[in-house]
């Protein structure tokens, strides 16, 4: 792969010219136009073409570039794309990937094809590493880690260590730290390359290593790994088994993928989409993912209509009450979503509520009071300006203030309760909290009207 990466612009003109080259099988143009281009840019380009055309492009590029492109593809597209290649071809690509990326690709194949691909991997160490990783679930540290790393025995001298680093570094693309192990292979610390380079040849690793090292266990959930790496600002974290033996490392690029997936899952959950879907999925899959919460919203709307029906006599006496129903429900829903969204974000940090739940709730209350007072005064002035009806203005403003307080409390406490019971708190930021606050808002509104109008 070329060391110099050129700038690449995916223009309409280039796409048309590239399509022409594919139609004419102009290998020279394809090779020359993609030479030195970042694999991520080539991946974006190949999204515009079908699998057969992409396979032809693959045949013209260096294997290491093909491997990087295959690794960059989105899971759904990659699953369809790898079916175009034979096990022997796939094995050649895996030779150029870290063991964790190779395992990710193999996870998407049937067991039979997976075994056939591994059979064709010429690098025995690579094949062994990938097989080790396939023993773990994809969503735990063991399935996330790469086996390639740099380690040094605590009893080595600096000279021995440097010689071993040279050997081990052939299979490691990026070196963040040198992990230190004892004679049994147990992780005891780490040492920076800077300290190794500056130390005298006869000095032992035991004299310069740092025994304070953050590590994760193979069974740890990927979300917990991501939280640890964020908390300690780590570019890589070592992975140990139940006996404390160093078995791999997880790098920041793998964790970014996990964080992105977590954010996407929460965003979809907050939007009322019950499963992970993409825009290019089938109509049935997209409908199935969206329908449950649409039904919840519809049921909530029907309940709200029935609830309003209980007060039809009041509305008949004071028709103006009906004008402000959308204001009350919309404000309650918005306040609830704002409050729950902040709490859901805060729950990503396990220590955020360590300073006391009561203090947090009091802060939420004061914020709600400030917002409620401002909104209530504004709506009071507007109603008086256009309706000149003091009881109506008082009813709407008092109800709005009460709804802001109640919705803020509900939006704060609901995700905390859901999290306590092991339910995704992002549920509280979607249609669930909106529907609940609509009903509560209507109850508050007509209750205040009853009191002020003596209905």
- 350-402: per-residue pLDDT in tens? 555 555 667 777 888 899 999 999 999 999 999 898 878 888 899 999 999 99
**Would you report the helix, strand and coil content of the chain in percent, each value rounded to 5?**
65, 10, 25
Residues 237-296: tens digit of each pLDDT = 999 999 999 999 999 888 888 887 777 766 666 655 555 556 656 677 767 767 777 777
Name the residue with tokens 């140990």: 240
pLDDT for position 253: 85
Residues 212, 69 share a domain? no
Residues 368, 329 share a domain? yes
Residue 353 lies in a domain: yes
pLDDT for position 118: 93
Structure tokens that stand for 250 in this block = 């997880």
Residues 168, 129 share a domain? no
Residue 247's SS3 state is strand
The CATH number given to whatever domain includes residue 157 is 3.10.580.10
Residues 123, 45 share a domain? yes
Structure tokens that stand for 105 in this block = 């690709």
Alpha-carbon distance of 455 to 452, in angstroms, equals: 8
Mean pLDDT in each 10-residue stretch from start to end of the chain (455 residues)? 57 90 92 90 89 90 92 83 89 91 90 92 91 91 92 93 85 85 95 91 92 94 90 92 94 84 68 58 70 76 80 81 88 84 69 60 86 93 87 91 91 81 66 78 87 76
Alpha-carbon distance of 347 to 416, in angstroms, equals: 8
- Helix (H) or strand (E) holding 253, with range, is helix 252-270
Alpha-carbon distance of 189 to 186, in angstroms, equals: 9
Alpha-carbon distance of 218 to 241, in angstroms, equals: 6
- 445 touches 328 (CB < 8 A): yes
pLDDT for position 357: 64
- pTM of the predicted protein model: 0.66
Residues 225, 177 share a domain? yes
Residues 434, 302 share a domain? yes
Alpha-carbon distance of 328 to 362, in angstroms, equals: 24
The CATH number given to whatever domain includes residue 131 is 1.25.60.10
């Amino acid at each position: 792969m070329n060391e110099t990466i050129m700038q690449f612009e995916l223009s309409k003109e280039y796409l048309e010219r590239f399509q022409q080259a594919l139609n004419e099988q102009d290998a020279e143009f394809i090779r020359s136009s993609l030479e030195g281009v970042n694999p991520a840019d080539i991946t974006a380009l190949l999204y515009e073409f079908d699998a057969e055309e992409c396979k032809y492009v693959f045949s013209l590029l260096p294997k290491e570039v093909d491997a990087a492109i295959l690794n960059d593809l989105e899971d759904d597209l990659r699953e369809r794309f790898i079916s175009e290649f034979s096990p022997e071809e796939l094995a050649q690509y895996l030779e150029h990937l870290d063991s964790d990326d190779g395992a990710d690709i193999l996870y998407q194949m049937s067991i039979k094809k997976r075994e056939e691909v591994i059979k064709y991997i010429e690098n025995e160490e690579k094949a062994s590493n990938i097989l080790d990783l396939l023993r773990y679930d994809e969503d735990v540290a063991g399935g996330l880690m790469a086996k390639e790393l740099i380690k040094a025995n605590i009893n080595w001298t600096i000279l021995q260590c440097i010689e071993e680093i040279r050997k081990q570094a052939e299979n490691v693309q990026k070196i963040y730290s040198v992990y230190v192990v004892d004679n049994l292979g147990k992780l005891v610390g780490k040492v920076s390359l800077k300290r190794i380079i500056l130390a005298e040849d006869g000095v032992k690793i035991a004299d310069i290593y740092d025994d304070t090292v953050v590590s994760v266990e193979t069974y740890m959930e990927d979300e917990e790994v991501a939280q640890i790496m964020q908390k300690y600002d780590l570019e890589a974290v070592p992975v140990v088994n139940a006996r404390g033996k160093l078995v791999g490392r997880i790098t920041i690029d793998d964790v970014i993928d996990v964080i992105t997936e977590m954010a996407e899952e929460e965003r979809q959950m907050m939007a009322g989409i019950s499963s992970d879907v993409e825009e290019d999925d089938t109509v049935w899959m997209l409908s199935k993912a969206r329908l449950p919460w649409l039904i919840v919203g519809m049921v909530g709307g029907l309940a709200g209509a029935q609830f309003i029906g209980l007060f039809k006599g009041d509305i008949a006496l004071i028709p103006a009450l009906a004008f402000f129903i959308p204001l009350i429900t919309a404000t309650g829903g918005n306040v609830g979503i704002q409050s729950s969204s902040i709490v859901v974000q805060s729950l990503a940090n396990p220590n955020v509520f360590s300073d006391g739940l009561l203090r947090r709730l009091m802060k939420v209350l004061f914020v709600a009071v400030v917002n409620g007072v401002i909104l209530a005064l504004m709506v009071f002035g507007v109603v008086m300006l256009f309706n000149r009806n003091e009881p109506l203005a008082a009813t709407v403003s008092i109800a709005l203030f009460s709804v802001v307080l109640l919705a803020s409390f509900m939006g704060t406490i609901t995700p905390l309760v859901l999290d306590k019971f092991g339910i995704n708190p992002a549920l509280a930021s979607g249609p669930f909290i909106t529907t609940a606050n609509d009903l509560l808002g209507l109850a508050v509104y007509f209750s205040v009207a009853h009191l002020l109008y003596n209905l």
